[in-house]
Structure 1
C-alpha cells in the first residue's frame, strides 16, 4: 500500500525562465466519468510542486504530469464520448520538467526539512537523503555544497546518487551512490568506507565533479512516461512508475574512464572514485541529526574548483533536460501513432 504524505510548510522556490517549473498548468482533476473537467483550471503553487504530493516510496515513483499540447487527437478526445468512464490515456499528458535545478521535494526522505528556496536542507535523527531534481548521464558536471550548521554529533555524506539510492540511508550505503563523509573525510560506496581526505565541517564549501564519458550504450533521451498509468492525487495527475531495483542491480556495468573528484574550499582533494557504474547521477545530500547543508548548482560558485577539467555547472542541465524529455515524448508519439489512432477511436 502506498502512503501519501503532505509536505509541511509553504515552501517557495525560484522561478526559471522556461515554462515548466513555476506558475504553470498541470494535470486537471478527473470528473466522475473519468474525463478531465478543465485542463487549465489548476495552477502549481509558487515553489513549482504541489504542497501535498505522493512521495517516491514503497517501490513506486510518482512523476507529476501536465497536459501535452503536442499530443495527437487531443481535440478528438475532448469532443468524443467514447472515453466516458475510462481513464485518461497517459499519452495525452507529459511529465512536467522543472525549469531550474533545485532540491527535489518529492524525491527525498519525508523527515528532511527543505528550505523555502529549495537550496538548503536540514536533517533529523538518523541518516536520510534528498536528491536534486535533475541528474546527468554523460559529460563533466560540477556542483557545490556548503555546511551551514553541524552541531556536535551531527554528520553529512554528500556526493552523487542514482535514482535507486536508498533515501532512508546514508549516500554510499548501496551500489547506487558515491559519497564523502564529514567525519574523518571518508569516501563511501556500497557501505565500504576508505580514507580519502581530512574531515570537513561547519563553514566549509565542498565541490563535487563527475566525469561520465560517452559509450556505445549511452542513453541520449530519458524515459518517456506516456505508456504509464495516470493516477490522481489531490487534484493533480501523476504517472505511476514501478521501481525495478533487482533488474538495475543485474545490469550494473562499470563505465570505463568515469571519475569522481571532491573539492574542499576550491582545492581538489584528489580522485575519489574511478570507473563508477554507468547510469544517471543526481547531486545528493544525506544528513545525520540536525545538520544543515546548502547547495549551489551554479553557474556562479562560491569556491570555483582549481581544475583543468572543462566542466558544466549543474544549473545548465535544466534546459537541456527539457529538450531531452521533449525529444523522448515526440519519438514515442511518432513510433506509436497508429496504435494511438486505434485507441483514440476505440477500434
Structure 2
C-alpha cells in the first residue's frame, strides 16, 4: 500500500524505562505490566516492534508508602476459633467446615464427604409425616372389560426437572448434627410410578400404578431403581390398539411404550428415545433404542388392549460393575468370580442435598445426572463428536476407552407377552455407575463423578394421546414368568429358558439311594419382583442417613454443636438463632 512521505511516521515502542508523572492524589497501587501495542507487526504498522513490558515509576509518595513494611493481616474470629478447636484435640468443638474445602477437586471420590449447610431450625410442621399429592378427578374411561377407570390430576407436589431431583424428607430431633432432616416416603407405600419423577400432563390412579395422558408422548418412571441382579415387573395395556375392533371403532385409543430407563433419560419423550432407555413399542411389537425401531415380535404381533407385557432385567454385581467403569475388568477372572464378595469395596454414597419447602411439603433438592456427550454422539453420529476426537470408532464394549460407552457383561433385558417369553431384545446394557454417569455440578470440581444412590435402571412407561398402562411390581403377578413362585414362595430354583442359568445342583450319596441337593441361586441370579427392591431401597436410605449423621457428628468432635439456638434441655425446636436464616429455601414451580 502506497504511503505519503509527508505523513508522520509512528515511533516504535520504547525499549527503555518510561517515566510517567501521576497526580499525587491518585497513587498507583500496581504497575502496568503490558502496553496496548500489538505483539505482531502488520502492514499498517510496519515499524512496530514486539511488545515489551514497561515498568512504570510511581510518584515518590507512592514509592514511600509501598516501601513500608506491610501490615500483618489478622485472622477473623471464625478462623481463630477453627484453628484453636483443631489444636485442642477431639474433646473440643470444631466449627462448621467450609463447604469449599469439601469441593477439593484433587481429592479422590473415596475421600469426599457430603456438603454441609447451615440452616434455620425446622418448623413444628416439618416433623409431621410426609404427605402425598392432592388428587383431583380428571376423567373416566372404560378398560378392555368395560369397567370404569378413574384418572386423577395430581397437584401440590414438585416435578423433577431443570436438572434437579427431589425426594421427600422430614425433620427428626434425633438428627441434630445433620441439619435436622432425613429422607422419608409418603403414601402410597410400595413400588409405584413416581409422582415427582414424571412428565407434566400425566394422570394417575390413587395407587400410582395406572398412568395415561391426553398429550403427546410423556414418560413416567417408577420410584424404584435396580442396580444389580435379576428383576421383573409387568404392566397391562388398558387403553391402546384395539384387540376387537368394529367397523365404526377407531384403530386405537392411544399408544404406549414399556421398558427400562436410567436417570438421564428424558421424561418428555418415549421410552427408547435416547441411549439411556430401552423400550418396546406397541405397534408391531418393535424394540426401540436411541430412536431406532427394529422388528422384534413375530409379524402381526401388536401389543393390544388387555395384553400383559413382562419386563425382566439382569445386571451384574456392583463389584464387577465398578471394575468395568474403572477400567479394571478382566473377563478371564472376574466373570468366574462374579458372585463372590471377596475383595469388594464398600459403596461410597455421597448425597449433596439441601431441604427446600414447596407449599405444604419438605423435599431434599439435589443436582440430577445429565447426559454425556459420548452417548449423545452415539445417538447422533458426528465427525466432530467426542468419539472422533479420540480417534476411536470402536463400538460400545466393556473395555471402551470412554467410560460412558462401556457395557455390562452378562446384562440383558427379556420381554414376555402374557407370560410367554418373546425373546431377549437387548444384551450388554450401558454401565451407569460413575464415571459413566455424571452429576450436573457446576463449579464443583471433581464432585460430578459421585454415586448418590439413585443411579440404576427404573421401570418406565410412555403413553400417547389416551394410551393407558397399569403397572404391577409384584409380588403377585397376573402372568408370572417361569421360575417366579409368586408371593410367599421360598423357591429360588428357576426354570431354564434358553440362556438363563440353572440352579446349581450337587449330587450326594446318602442312605440307600442318591440324593440331589439344590444350592440356592445367588442374589444376582435369582429372579425377584421389583416390589422387593422397594423394601431394600428404604433400608439403604436409612443406613445412608445414619452414616451422614455420624459423619457430621464426628466433624463436630463427637459432640452435638447447636447452631440454631435450640434449647436441648427444654426440647424446643421453634425460634431462630441470632444471625441465622429465617426460613429454608422456598421452591416455586408450576403444577
Q: What's the TM-score, normalizing by structure 2?
A: 0.47
Equivalent residue number for residue 218 of structure 2? 128
Structure 1 residue 117 displacement after superposition:
1.7
1:224–1:329 CA contact under 8 A, matched in 2: no
Matched, 1:239 2:355: no
- 1:186-225 alpha-carbon deviations (Å, 9 max, x no partner): 1111111211113211010010000011143459768454
Equivalent residue number for residue 202 of structure 1? 305
Separation in 2, partners of 1:126, 1:240: 28
1:109–1:168 CA contact under 8 A, matched in 2: yes
After TM superposition, the structure 1 = structure 2 runs for residues 102-117 of structure 1, keeping only pairs within 5 Å, are 102-117=192-207
2:474–2:529 CA contact under 8 A, matched in 1: yes
2:407 paired residue among 243, 250, 254: 254
Structure 1 residue 177 displacement after superposition:
0.5
More divergent stretch after superposition (151-160 vs 315-324)? 151-160
- 1:166-188 alpha-carbon deviations (Å, 9 max, x no partner): 11000111111111000011111
Unaligned runs of 5+ in 2: 1-118, 136-153, 242-250, 323-344, 376-401, 433-455, 484-494, 501-525, 564-591
SS in 2 for 1:210: strand
Structure 1 residue 65 displacement after superposition:
1.0
Equivalent residue number for residue 62 of structure 1? 166
Matched, 1:96 2:200: no
1:42 paired residue among 104, 107, 128: 128
Structure 1 residue 41 displacement after superposition:
5.6
Give the direction of change, closer, same or farther, for the CA distance of 1:338–1:167 in structure 2 (3 Å limit): same
Equivalent residue number for residue 264 of structure 1? 417
More divergent stretch after superposition (284-293 vs 150-159)? 150-159
Matched, 1:273 2:433: no
Structure 1 residue 97 displacement after superposition:
3.9
Moved over 3 A (4+): 39-51, 215-225, 246-251, 340-346
SS in 2 for 1:331: helix
Separation in 2, partners of 1:46, 1:331: 27
2:257–2:271 CA contact under 8 A, matched in 1: yes
Give the direction of change, closer, same or farther, for the CA distance of 1:233–1:333 in structure 2 (3 Å limit): same
Radius of gyration: which is bigger?
2
- 1:233-287 alpha-carbon deviations (Å, 9 max, x no partner): 1132211112231459574231111010000000001111101012301110001
Separation in 2, partners of 1:103, 1:41: 26
Matched, 1:157 2:257: yes
Equivalent residue number for residue 246 of structure 2? none
Separation in 2, partners of 1:205, 1:119: 14
Give the direction of change, closer, same or farther, for the CA distance of 1:150–1:116 in structure 2 (3 Å limit): same
Give the direction of change, closer, same or farther, for the CA distance of 1:333–1:65 in structure 2 (3 Å limit): same
Equivalent residue number for residue 532 of structure 2? 316
Give the direction of change, closer, same or farther, for the CA distance of 1:321–1:220 in structure 2 (3 Å limit): farther
Matched, 1:344 2:561: yes
1:221–1:328 CA contact under 8 A, matched in 2: no
Separation in 1, partners of 2:127, 2:429: 45
Separation in 2, partners of 1:296, 1:70: 36
Give the direction of change, closer, same or farther, for the CA distance of 1:344–1:192 in structure 2 (3 Å limit): farther
Equivalent residue number for residue 28 of structure 1? none
Matched, 1:298 2:515: no
SS in 2 for 1:54: coil
SS in 2 for 1:208: strand
Please provide the CA RMSD for this pair: 2.9
Separation in 2, partners of 1:179, 1:108: 16
Separation in 1, partners of 2:264, 2:346: 20
Q: How many pairs align?
A: 298
More divergent stretch after superposition (275-284 vs 243-252)? 243-252
Separation in 2, partners of 1:70, 1:242: 26
Give the direction of change, closer, same or farther, for the CA distance of 1:300–1:260 in structure 2 (3 Å limit): same
1:147–1:203 CA contact under 8 A, matched in 2: yes
SS in 1 for 2:236: strand
Q: What's the TM-score, normalizing by structure 1?
A: 0.77
Matched, 1:52 2:156: yes
1:122–1:287 CA contact under 8 A, matched in 2: yes
Matched, 1:289 2:465: yes
- 1:66-108 alpha-carbon deviations (Å, 9 max, x no partner): 12454254xxxxxxxxxxxxxxxx6421222464101111111
Give the direction of change, closer, same or farther, for the CA distance of 1:220–1:200 in structure 2 (3 Å limit): farther
Structure with the higher fraction of residues in strand conformation: 1
Separation in 2, partners of 1:105, 1:247: 26
Structure 1 residue 343 displacement after superposition:
9.1
Matched, 1:138 2:228: yes
- 1:8-53 alpha-carbon deviations (Å, 9 max, x no partner): xxxxxxxxxxxxxxxxxxxxxxxxx943221566344477999501
2:127–2:170 CA contact under 8 A, matched in 1: no
Equivalent residue number for residue 288 of structure 2? 188
Give the direction of change, closer, same or farther, for the CA distance of 1:113–1:271 in structure 2 (3 Å limit): same
